[in-house]
Amino acid sequence: MVSSPEGYTGGWTRRVGRWLPMMALLAAGIASATPQRIVSINLCADQLLMTLLPRERLISVTHLAADPTQSMMAGQARGVPVNHGRADEVVRLKPDLVVAGRYSQTQTVALLRALGIPVLELDVPSSTEQLIKQMDDLGQRLGVSQTAHIEIERFRRALDELDRSELPNRPLAALYRVNRGTEGRDTLIGELMHRAGMRNVADELGVRRWGTLPMESLLLAQPDIIIVEQSSDRQPAMAHQFLRHPALRRLLAETQTALLDSRDWSCAGPWLTRPLAQLVQTRARWSDALTEPATVQTPP
Amino acid sequence: MNASNQPASVQTPWLWPVLVTTTVALFVASLKVGSAPIPLWDLATGNAGPEAATLSLILAEIRLPRAILAVFVGGTLGLCGAVLQGLLRNPLAEPGLLGASSAGALGAVIALYFGLTATLPLALPLGGIAGAVLGIMLILFLAGRGARPSTLILAGVAVNSLAGALTALALNLAPSPFASLEIVFWMLGSLADRSFEDVTIVLPFVLLGWPILLMLRRPLEALTLGEDVASSLGFDLRHLQLRVVLATGLTVGACVSVSGNIGFVGLMVPHLLRPWVGHHPGRLVAPSALGGAALLLGADLLTRSPVLGQELKLGVVTALLGAPLFLHLLWHLRTRLL
Amino acid sequence: MTLEATSINLTLGGRTILTDASVRVDTGRVIGLLGPNGAGKSTLLRSLAGLEPSAESKRTLDGVAAPTRANREWACKVAYLPQTGDLSWPVTVREVVALGRLPHHTGPWGSQSAQDRAIVDLAMQQADVNSLANRPADALSGGERARVMLARALATEPDYLLADEPVAGLDPGHQLQVMELLRARAGAGMGVLVVLHDLTLACRYCDEVMLLYAGRVVAQGRPVEVLNPDNMAKVFGVRVLAADTPDGPVRIPMARLRENTP
């Protein structure tokens, strides 16, 4: 930068004046550098992008997005070309921007960057605030801030509407995932449980993020509500067999149960209001059953 | 090996009392120890307080089947270890090292992940049995008659590698997305949160196989003097091999299909008990069943120890105990083996 | 009573080991089996014991055809003593000898009766291994182990004993003692077939001698007749010093003959 001998104040306006047209041009350049051809190689990115982007700018999503057993938005993904997350497929699509998951595809991401393709990595949000910030940033980066803000507003309103965290009676809820897993307060589902007015068994076990929930601990905790993850894939695996355990079946028959479809919350996005609504309903059923202790109903 | 001048063959009279007491004590401990201590006596007499119903449920549906499985699986591994060591006249033989367990795991994996168990629930143990039988047949083919001990170990390495690779492949190709994550279970084994359903899967095969194995005492004694003398003493060796293959495959295969691959039990138990039966290969068989049950009960208790933050896999504990013993055996037998 | 195998033909791996060899053991007699190394003596013995399933032959015990598979009753009557005493586990000498009683036990848990123990003690006494009774059998010298294995074979109280070089590696005193023992057992009614290398022992202790050469039985009969200079030259390629002493005949190989190198 050239230093002016006239002193600080006086030369400043002239300097700005000299750079103003340049900056205007730059701004226009940035605006036109808004990516037009966007490829997603991650299921969660697929779903977020399908929510925020106009169809013509999203030129490819993963094959999982179009798989009804994996994604709730399979219908929307129909007609969009699919990829399998491999660098050679991506390169042929000539994208302006690739969106990936931060921890799951490091090799592919590194390779794409080495080939000069810009990649945006999405973190896994561990709270709704982080999700909202992620949607906001995405909106800005992709030039769809308006759509993003509309979605964020809608999401916030729904969250507020469904907020039961101030209710005095807080039932103890246990989240029992496929493969005996559970999640704690520093995860999205943990926060949803809190918002639905529930206490989380994971807190008693000292689990902040992810952990195992042995069946004994589940039984001993004597939860008021059990949230079971239902996997929509019907393929046999050891992961599903714990649900057949006689002790668990007995517990499920005696306790309010919410069956959450894993497609709804395996990815973070504004659709999280659906599982939240389910949790709120379950809590309401529990609360009703307190006053009429005759029957305990589980959803069909 | 043992060059002491004491009468090495006197069977310690307190062998059975010690084994039985230890096993029973560990069984009872398995029922009591866990995320909450269960007061067995209070439960039985009705003094257990408000949590009684839950504790009873935990005891009956979670801890009891788990302890019973530990007895079946541990007993099987001990039994088969003793039998294989007697047949092959090698103290390093056991279902894990020889690849019978991993071959059984392969069979079970194929049966489970490719939908065979949906049509026929018994397909799971049957798959394990088919795998285990093939594994043992392969071992006997590679290193059966009069092979040097080092050949036997190498054959075991080969079968283990092959079975492990095919298992990884099968899990990779399996339709379920969870499959490739579950390889840890199949390779390291676990008895956590098992139910009586698993016990009923294993029970018929244990009932079939254990008697056959226990009756191998005399032929194994005869084999002390080598195959020719054993044959001349009236023992049909082909028939013996057939019984070993069948009974070991049946029991190990069924157990692995439910517990995953748990190694080193069949190595440790006969080795520890051998001096107490005067080194007799035949007398070693029955005590090894009890010893194996006790060992696995103990190892399973360790996985539930509150010292470690999270639950350890059972195969990790048995490997931590067994691998050093394996090294010790190799070191002391190296002149004989290599 | 007779144990015999007729017309044994055995080919292994392309090599013909035995051709039309017949062998017969009567109770009460000691038969010696002699021949050069590789002539097939051990194989002939094993064939008679039923340990060579690929041998085409007819084996009979007192006219009754032998079973094709290992059989307990047969094992009670015929004991086999191999050349090398295999021992897989360090059990005591007494326990090794006791293994000889296995064919007589029925059921999977057959255990030693008082009678068994007495027979075992007697067998150990006869083989002169009493003093070793409680020693681990893997801590013995070669000769001691050979005698222990012999005691094991005797403990079966068989009608026939098939022994492959039972005196190899024994000191002279024990050589004589074992041959005297076999002679005495034959006197008590046992039929003994023994592979020997020592011509003198064969002469002194065998009722009959069979000479094996290249898989065929080339001579059979009384030892002093079979072990004549012609046969010795033809089969062993040696000149033998023959003598008669008050203790019995003596045959000592003295020189190798150039023409015949088997």
Cα dihedral across residues C84, C86, C90, C92: positive or negative: negative
pLDDT value at position A24? 58
Query: What SS3 class is residue B59?
Result: helix
A-B C-beta contacts closer than 8 Å: 82
CA gap B259, B63 in Å, rounded: 15
**Measured between beta carbons, which residues in chain B are less than 8 angstroms from residue A251?**
57
Give the Cα separation of C18 and C56 in Å (integer).
10
| pLDDT number for residue B176 | 82
Phi, psi (5° rounding) for residue C255?
-145, 150
Chain C residues lying within 8 Å of B278, measured CB to CB: 91-92, 95
Chains with 3 or more CB pairs under 8 A to chain B: A, C
Q: Are B79 and B208 in contact (CB under 8 A)?
A: no
The set of long-range contacts for C14-20, using a CB threshold of 8 Å and a minimum separation of 24, is: C16/C215, C17/C43, C17/C215, C18/C43, C18/C44, C18/C47, C18/C55, C18/C215, C18/C216, C19/C215, C19/C216, C20/C216
Residue A203: count other Cβ atoms within 10 Å of its Cβ. Answer: 15
* Secondary structure of residue C243 in the 3-state scheme: strand
Q: Report whether A186 contacts A130 (CB < 8 A).
A: no
**C-alpha–C-alpha distance, residues B272 and B263, integer Å:** 16
**pLDDT at residue A4 in the model:** 44
C242 in contact with B, Cβ within 8 Å: no
DSSP C67: P
CB A184 within 8 A of CB A190: yes
Query: Do residues A180 and A214 touch, judged by C-beta distance below 8 A?
Result: yes
**Among C181, C160, C221, C215, CA closest to C1:** C160
C99, B234: Cβ pair inside 8 Å? no
Superfamily for the B63-337 domain: ABC transporter involved in vitamin B12 uptake, BtuC (1.10.3470.10)
Q: Which residues of A are less than 8 Å from B310 in CB distance?
A: 211-212
pLDDT of residue B318: 94
pLDDT value of residue A102: 87
Which residues of chain B make contact with C46, given a CB cutoff of 8 A? 228
Kindly list the residues from chain C whose CB atom is less than 8 angstroms away from the CB atom of residue B214: 108
Find where tokens 């109280």 sit. Answer: C157
Cβ-based neighbour number of residue C158 at 10 Å = 24
For A52-88, what is each residue's pLDDT tens digit?
A: 999 899 999 999 999 888 899 999 899 899 999 888 8
CA distance A59 to chain B (A): 26
- Dump pLDDT digits (tens) for C152-176: 999 999 999 999 999 988 899 999 9
The answer to whether C201 touches C4, Cβ cutoff 8 Å, is no
Q: Which residue has the tokens 């067995």?
A: B40
* Secondary structure element (H or E) that encloses residue B126, with its range: helix B123-143
User: What are the Cα distances from residue B159, in Å, to A170, B101, B155?
Assistant: 56, 10, 6
Pick from C73, C80, C139: CB nearest B229? C80
| A178 vs B contacts (CB less than 8 Å) | 178
Q: Which of A190, A228, A229 is nearest to A209 (CA)?
A: A190
B180: Cβ contacts below 8 Å, ≥ 6 apart: B171, B172, B174
- ipTM for the assembly: 0.91
Contacts by B165-173 with C-beta closer than 8 Å and gap 24+? Answer: B166/B106, B167/B102, B167/B105, B167/B106, B167/B109, B170/B106, B170/B109, B170/B110, B170/B113, B170/B114, B171/B109, B171/B113
Q: Read off the pTM.
A: 0.86
Angstroms from B200 CA to nearest CA on chain A: 13
Q: At what angle do helices B285-303 and B15-32 cross, to 10 degrees?
A: 30
Of C131, C107, C87, residue with least CA distance to B280: C87
Q: Which residues on B lie below 8 Å from A179 (Cβ)?
A: 178, 181
Cα–Cα dist B59/A292, whole Å: 31
Give the DSSP H/E element, type plus range, for residue A103.
none
Give the confidence band of A293 by pLDDT, cuts at 50, 70, 90: low
Report CB contact under 8 Å: B4, C136: yes
Contact A212 B174 (CB under 8 A): no
Which of B6, B217, B229, B337 to mutate to probe the C interface, most C CBs <10 Å?
B229
CA dist A113 and B60 (Å) reads 57
The tokens of B167 are what?
């298992």
Torsions phi, psi of C56, nearest 5? -90, 110
Question: Does B have 3 or more CB contacts under 8 Å with A?
Answer: yes
Per-residue pLDDT of chain C (262 residues; tens, 9 = 90+): 888 888 888 888 888 888 888 999 999 999 999 999 888 899 999 999 989 887 777 888 888 888 888 889 999 999 999 998 889 899 999 999 999 999 998 766 667 788 899 999 999 999 999 999 999 998 998 889 999 999 999 999 999 999 999 998 889 999 999 999 999 999 999 999 999 999 999 999 999 999 999 989 999 999 999 999 999 999 999 999 999 999 899 999 999 987 645 5
| Phi, psi at B78, each rounded to 5° | -65, -50
Which residues lie closer than 8 Å to B285 by C-beta, 6 or more apart? B79, B82, B83, B86, B213, B214, B216, B217, B220
Domain boundaries of chain B, sorted by first residue: 63-337
C-alpha B295/C-alpha B264 separation (Å) is 10
Residue closest to A225 by CA, chosen among A172, A270, A263:
A172
Question: Is B218's CB within 8 Å of C102's CB?
Answer: yes
Least Cα distance to A58 among A73, A68, A70, A72 occurs for A73
Backbone Cα Rg of chain A: 24
pLDDT value for C186? 94
Report the b/e string of B76-112 with b at 16+ CB within 10 A.
Answer: bbbbbbbbbbbbbbbbbbbbbbbbbbbbbbbbbbbbb
The 10s digit of each residue's pLDDT in A140-150 is: 999 999 999 99
Which single residue is written with the structure tokens 């397909």?
A: B123
Q: What residues of chain A lie within 8 A of the CB of B178, using their CB?
A: 178-179, 237-239
DSSP H helices in chain C: 41-49, 72-77, 93-98, 114-126, 142-155, 172-187, 199-205, 223-226, 229-231
Stretches where chain B sits below pLDDT 70 are: 1-11, 145-146, 306-310, 336-338
Strands C64-65 and C56-61: antiparallel
- Picking from A66, A61, A69, the residue whose alpha carbon sits closest to that of residue A85 is A61
Examine the pLDDT at A6 and tell me if it is beyond 50. no
Rounded to the nearest angstrom, the minimum Cα separation between B107 and chain C is: 32
Determine how many CB atoms are found less than 10 A away from the CB of residue B236. 18
Give the pLDDT confidence score for residue B47 in this predicted structure. Answer: 75
Q: What is the pLDDT of residues B172-229, one digit of tens each?
A: 898 887 887 888 889 999 998 899 999 999 999 999 999 999 999 999 999 999 999 9
**C206 burial level (CB within 10 Å; 0-12, 13-18, 19+):** buried
Q: Do chains B and C touch (3 or more CB pairs under 8 A)?
A: yes
Q: Which residue from A215, A235, A244 is facing B62, i.e. has the nearest CB? A: A215
The top-level CATH class assigned to A38-127 is alpha beta
Chain B CB contacts of A238 under 8 Å are 112, 178, 182, 185
Q: Does C12 touch chain B (CB under 8 A)?
A: no
Instruction: Show me where the domains of chain A are located.
Output: 38-127, 166-291
Q: How far apart are CA C239 and CA C243, in angstroms?
A: 13
C95:B278 CB<8 A:
yes
8 Å CB contact of C86 and B225: yes
The reported pLDDT for the residue numbered B182 is: 87
Cα C191 from Cα C62, distance rounded (Å): 12
Q: pLDDT at residue A9 above 70?
A: no
More confident residue, C192 or A210: C192
- pLDDT surpassing 50 at residue A1: no
C229 neighbors C253 (Cβ within 8 angstroms): no
- Contact of B221 with chain C, judged by CB distance below 8 Å, is answered with yes
Token pair 């060591």 is found at B85
Chain A residue numbers touching B57 (CB-CB < 8 A): 219, 247, 250-251
Determine the Cα–Cα distance for residues B210 and B206; give it in Å rounded to an integer: 6
CA angle A177, A183, A188 (to 5 degrees): 110
Query: Which CATH code is given to the segment(s) A166-291?
Result: 3.40.50.1980
CB B69 within 8 A of CB B194: yes
What the block records as the tokens of B277 is 């039966």
Taking any CB pair shorter than 8 Å as contact, residues of chain B touching chain A are 34-36, 51, 54, 57-58, 61-63, 112-113, 115, 117-118, 174-179, 181-182, 185, 192-193, 195-197, 310-311
Q: Which of A21-25, A176-180, A289-293, C120-124 is predicted with the least confidence, judged by mean pLDDT? A: A21-25
